[in-house]
Amino acid sequence: MQTGPQAVSHSPGLAKCRTGICGLDEITEGGLPQGRPTLVCGAAGSGKTLLAMEFIVRGARDLDEPGVFIAFEETEGELIANVRSLGFDLDDLIAQNRVALDYVYIERSEIEETGDYGLDGLFIRLGCMIEQVGARRVALDGVEALFTALSSEGILRAELRRLFRWLKEQGVTAVITGEQGQGTLTRHNLEEYVSDCVIFLDHRVNNQVATRRLRIVKYRGSRHGTNEYPALIDECGLSVLPISSVSLDHRVSRERVSTGIQRLDAMLGGQGYFKGSSVLVSGTAGAGKSSLAAAFADSVCRHGGRCLYWSSEESSAQILRNMSSIGFDLGRHIQSGLLHCFAIRPTLYGLENHLVRLHKLVVEQRPEAVILDPITNFAAVGDAAEVKIMLTRVIDFLKKEGITALFTSLAPGTGHGQLEHTDEGISTLTDTWLLLQMVQSAGERNRLLYVLKSRGMAHSNQVRELLFSERGIDLADVYTGAGQVYAGSDRLAQQARDQTAALAQRQAAERRRRTLQQKRSGLLARIHALQAQLDGIEEDAALAEAQELQRLAAAACAEAELAHARYAD
């Protein structure tokens, strides 16, 4: 068989065949081994038949590789009807001679053994079908039905080896499904040893919630993911989420996105969150977490960006109604296609299914921002460790895609120490953490907002009061005094008391100023009077001195005249 353009090689010398199944090719690093058999095993309802059928259909429809599907448990009509709900039109592919479908009926009570047991009849039948459509893919669904009543383990082993060897000789890429045995991968505990690739599907129920997981047990000659990966079956078929832990090498941006609240932007360095960062908004019930999320969604859409709003508490209609009361018309963004609301109860699926569903929504919607409101409810379907792993995957995935993520979380208590941690344990993984707190005083409850951290930017360490009105959300400066923080009517009352006290102080100071002014004026008047008195005394003294000088001068003159008169005689 020719390899064709769809075969890719990620390991030297090993060609791979793309499955076309979302996520599976990434886990297997390119697909299933080309021209070799792959065993898919698992319990009933785990998705084995769907994986095999999707491998055939996607190969014939999307990858130009015709296929053959042989079922041992379901008829052709049942298979066609079952996969039609997934958008797979088997009738059309069969009519185009792209797929050959057959049902092999085996009923032990109707079989009479003559001679040695062998699979020659199956080989002939399968060979004809491969030749008929030029098949490059083959799926055998429920192969253990061939050996249901076979008592000889030696013959069973020999025929299984022969079947796998025959498929390799045909050069087709084969998928063979088998039921899980007791304590082993399959009932016969052999297929996994002769297969080149073994995929195990698990369908488990914990806390009344069913989840599916997929694991690559082995893959000869190739690297592959070894973890358990969440798997989801929905209207598009089988999806596998390949992200288990993304390496910390994602790109970061210095671009900012507005929070939707002007004063909150100012608290975060004046421009809001970093684009592609993760934001946690935690607080007690009724503190305004969803309202901050709505403000952010409205801001993203008003600036032309797409936003995905995942709600696990309220329906879309309820969100639109509630947010309109504080001035956010989210309905127009939904109508424009910029906002997509997805509401679901966490208890409907397991954590893995929610993770896969979110992954698919992001791929479909390509949003610039994702909101999960709240993440606290995921605790209903998993323990703390499982929830943290799931949310870590979400954060890593969104960061890798450059999507700004906002999570809301219900704080576990009301004490200051209790508020500053989350039950989900992701506070250390987020870049910005806003804390909302309800404070009660004077018979009312008021909301306070803190910025506990915001990596990579200068941010305010001040407390603000969160105010809601029909015009939107605003932040007010809280009032502090005597070591206490006042908000609401307490803030207004304390401001009024402080204003009254300040007025009284100003009035007292004015009275003291006037008294001092009066004293100063009196003293100045006395100084002026004394100065005038002193000036008068000094004038009198000067006049007396001048008169004395004049008297002495006159006396001297008279004495001189007298002497002159005496000499004349």
Q: What is the pLDDT of residue 8?
A: 43
Question: What integer is the mean pLDDT of 300-307?
Answer: 95
Number of domain units in the chain: 2
pLDDT confidence tier of residue 44, bands split at 50, 70 and 90: confident
For the chain, how many helices (H) and strands (E)?
15, 25
Residue scoring higher pLDDT (175 or 486): 175
Q: What pLDDT, in 10s, does the model give residues 148-159? A: 655 556 666 777
Q: What pLDDT, in 10s, does the model give residues 12-29? A: 567 899 998 888 888 888
Cβ-contact 265, 272 below 8 angstroms: yes
pLDDT confidence tier of residue 558, bands split at 50, 70 and 90: confident
Q: What is the pLDDT of residue 503?
A: 82
**279 and 147, same domain (yes or no):** no
Phi, psi (rounded to 5 degrees) for 465: -90, 130
Residue scoring higher pLDDT (349 or 47): 47
Tokens of 265: 């932007």
Please determine, for residue 223, whether its predicted confidence score (pLDDT) is greater than 90: no
Q: What is the pLDDT of residue 302?
A: 94
> HSE on the CB side for 535, CA within 13 Å?
6
Alpha carbon distance 549, 390 (integer Å): 118
**221 and 269, same domain (yes or no):** no
Which domain does 216 fall in, by range? 7-240
Question: What integer is the mean pLDDT of 333-359?
Answer: 88
Among 477, 502, 521, residue at a domain's last position: 477
**301 and 443, same domain (yes or no):** yes
205 domain-assigned: yes
271 domain-assigned: yes
Q: Where are the alpha helices (DSSP H) in 422-487?
A: none
171 domain-assigned: yes
**211 and 333, same domain (yes or no):** no
Lowest mean pLDDT among 160-164, 168-172, 206-210, 459-463: 206-210
Please determine, for residue 62, whether its predicted confidence score (pLDDT) is greater than 80: yes
Q: What pLDDT, in 10s, does the model give residues 489-505? A: 666 666 667 778 788 88
pLDDT confidence tier of residue 568, bands split at 50, 70 and 90: low
Q: What is the pLDDT of residue 205?
A: 75
Among 432, 461, 477, residue at a domain's last position: 477
149 domain-assigned: yes
Q: What pLDDT, in 10s, does the model give residues 91-115? A: 899 999 999 998 887 655 444 444 4
Q: Spell out a b/e string for 546-569, using b for 16 or more CB atoms within 10 Å of the CB, else e.
A: eeeeeeeeeeeeeeeeeeeeeeee
Considering 46-55, 103-112, 207-216, 544-553, the range whose residues carry the highest mean pLDDT is: 46-55
Considering 235-244, 272-281, 554-563, the range whose residues carry the highest mean pLDDT is: 272-281
Cβ-contact 307, 319 below 8 angstroms: no
Q: What is the pLDDT of residue 45?
A: 81
Which CATH number is 159's domain given? Answer: 3.40.50.300
Location of structure tokens 């001189």: 560
State the DSSP code for 22: B
**82 and 147, same domain (yes or no):** yes
**327 and 214, same domain (yes or no):** no
Residue scoring higher pLDDT (190 or 405): 405
Alpha carbon distance 137, 58 (integer Å): 11
**211 and 332, same domain (yes or no):** no
The model carries a pTM of: 0.66
**155 and 260, same domain (yes or no):** no
Average pLDDT, rounded, for the chain: 82
**202 and 291, same domain (yes or no):** no
**299 and 194, same domain (yes or no):** no
Phi, psi (rounded to 5 degrees) for 479: -105, 125
Q: What is the pLDDT of residue 301?
A: 96
**235 and 342, same domain (yes or no):** no
176 domain-assigned: yes
pLDDT confidence tier of residue 160, bands split at 50, 70 and 90: confident
Lowest mean pLDDT among 99-103, 196-200, 242-246, 459-463: 242-246
Q: What is the dihedral of CA 101, 148, 50, 197, to 10 degrees?
A: -100
**361 and 236, same domain (yes or no):** no
563 domain-assigned: no
Among 477, 497, 520, residue at a domain's last position: 477
Q: What is the pLDDT of residue 339?
A: 96
Q: What is the pLDDT of residue 144?
A: 75
Lowest mean pLDDT among 232-236, 279-283, 343-347, 505-509: 232-236
Please determine, for residue 478, whether its predicted confidence score (pLDDT) is greater than 60: yes
Alpha carbon distance 480, 487 (integer Å): 9
Please determine, for residue 10, whether its predicted confidence score (pLDDT) is greater than 50: no
Question: What integer is the mean pLDDT of 33-45?
Answer: 88
